[in-house]
Structure 1
């Protein structure tokens, strides 16, 4: 079977993260500029290869001061590390709709293996004849594993920012048709 190449449909995709703030509520953020390239050999994407990048400068939490802090050396250090990257090492089908995605996530200059849960929404042709496929992705990482160590102690106990970061993505891919 021939390989199929897929690219992100940015109008129908989003990358989000959530972090507990003061251990009582969540702050949600996203990356506005990102790219995904996928190569698959079958209709079900089993064993597909996946490469993802996100521009750190596009991070947004709805608060400019917090966004600037996240881009600073206290966190992502966007001036020296302008992108985070993920490259798959395995994409295994669990059942008709669920997959397990394993790969190397690089933030700053630290690369760690992470596992993500993926739900395959299916594929089909849009009204213009373009083949599309959709995925929902969930996971969790420890930000300190990647050198994102800044925090502040609270006088009531606990810390300002949780170590755990929940990841969520809604991805729509478009098949790349070679001319």
Structure 2
């Protein structure tokens, strides 16, 4: 009985020091963008206006963070309504059939001061593929308005639209296969 009590006390002590903290994206101060090259000569950028992102961690440096993101495909915005409607169509994202794109991290690996490789599963157009992205931790401050800890992150990387069956009718000479993605996020501790 004495061994059981000591073991239970050790487990509870360990759990007390590994408390998970939950953080949610502040969408007013966060952005999910993409850029493609048109005809090999001009960049065209857009964003997803409606998305949710959260992270969970037990470490102050976020080295064990688990990120999750979900974006509404129909919220795509390139500032050209006709192009946005085309991107929502079956030619590209097929937003009616595949209304969400998601990312769920599987690993965060430190590569330098405040720099990480973020690996996870990206799902778009009904296809899930592993991707590795660059993650920059920009610091944590107390938000003067909410009085809550707020952390900043930037995620950058390249994905191929062909890996997800997006825009298959359009050759890379017309629209680059490589899509540069960038997410800037402020996360508030809950």
State TM-score, norm by structure 2: 0.87
Q: Which moved more, 1:4-13 or 1:121-130?
A: 121-130
Paired residue for 1:164?
A: 178
Q: Residue 51 of structure 2 corresponds to which residue in structure 1?
A: 34
Aligned partner of residue 94 in structure 1, secondary structure: strand
Larger radius of gyration, structure 1 or 2?
A: 2
- After superposition, what is the alpha-carbon deviation per residue over 1:111-161, rounded to whole angstroms, capped at 9, x for unaligned? 0000000111000111131110001111001001001133446xxxx7221
1:59: Cα distance to partner?
A: 0.2
The structure 1 segments of at least 4 consecutive aligned residues displaced by more than 6 Å after TM superposition are: none
Larger helix share, 1 or 2: 2
Alignment of 1:1-179 (within 5 A): 1-127=18-144, 128-152=146-170, 159-176=173-190
Where does the alignment leave 5 or more consecutive residues of structure 1 unmatched? none
Matched residues in 1 for 2:163 and 2:61: separation?
33
Q: CA RMSD in A?
A: 1.2
SS in 1 for 2:120: strand
Question: CA separation in 2, counterparts of 1:23 and 1:129?
Answer: 47
Q: Is the contact made by 1:151 and 1:159 (CA closer than 8 Å) also made in structure 2? A: no
Query: Which runs of 5 or more structure 2 residues have no equivalent in the other structure?
Result: 1-17
